[in-house]
A = this chain, B = another copy of it.
Amino acid sequence: MVQQRLTERELRAWRTSFQMLELLRTRVEQQLQAGSGLSSADYTVLALLSEAPDGRMRAYELGQAAGWEKSRMHHQLTRMGKRGLVTREQCGSRGVDAVITAEGLATLKAAVPGHVQEVRKLFVDLLTAEELDQFARIAGTILDNLQANQPAGSP
């Protein structure tokens, strides 16, 4: 409802932001892939598991944490399993744990420095401390709104 068209300023803001977002994503992806053979999805999963107690987490918790849907996580874990980065373990009667392997942990550790350097080069080091805070605050606003009204279940 409300009003329709975007103003010129709003349109430019959106297009700039959207293109930045796309390019940043692909660039980070490329660095990770070239530097360690990981996709950013792989990296996310490994990072989350490495921070969890015993390097293990329920599949659906992983999904929550990453903001993914279940089937994406499933396929992801399957692919990572084939490469020896994680294993799946039955957990209770229904429920599956994803567990990081030694190889997964080693791969992650090897990937971190290059990734961090890229994040600095493409993001953190370009901004002043104030800008970084501003940006993060606004990103947080947008993210909260996204998480608040999911598309699926909205009573």
A interface residues with partner B (beta carbon < 8 Å): 2, 4-6, 9-10, 12-14, 16-25, 27-28, 30-31, 67, 113, 116-117, 119-120, 122-127, 131-136, 138-143, 145-147, 151
Label chain A's interface by main secondary structure: helix
Number of copies of this chain in the oligomer? 2
Does B116 contact A6, Cβ atoms closer than 8 Å? yes
Does A13 contact B138, Cβ atoms closer than 8 Å? no
Contacts A6-B120, A141-B127, A151-B30 given; does A146 touch B23 at CB 8 Å: yes
Write the chain B residue with the least CB distance to A40. Answer: B18
Does B146 contact A10, Cβ atoms closer than 8 Å? no
Residues on B with C-beta less than 8 A from A6 are: 116, 119-120, 124
